[in-house]
Homo-oligomer: A and B are copies of this chain.
């Protein structure tokens, strides 16, 4: 069982956005979140909170749980193990 420390949602977000053929600026407009922040989310430099996940899902035309499910599918066979700090 491989260990990971943080959930990476970036690739999933980018894929879904590309499927819709829209820009980061469009996501920014739809969510009310800053454009540079969307960029950082896609590059896994930032992590969304649950409210942000709900906003992103709405912008990407799917349900929050579906978005999470897509992220989840990338982590089959991995165990999350945080750094306790």
Contacts and interface: CB of A to CB of B under 8 A. Distances in A.
Count of chain copies: 2
Interface of A: 5-7, 9, 31-33, 47-51, 53-55, 58, 63-66, 68-69, 71-72, 75, 80-82, 84
Contacts of A33: 82
B53 A47 contact: no
A67 B47 CA distance: 18
Nearest to A65: B69
Contacts of A84: 32
B64 A72 contact: yes
Contact of A7 (B47, B51, B69, B71): B51
Contacts of A31: 82
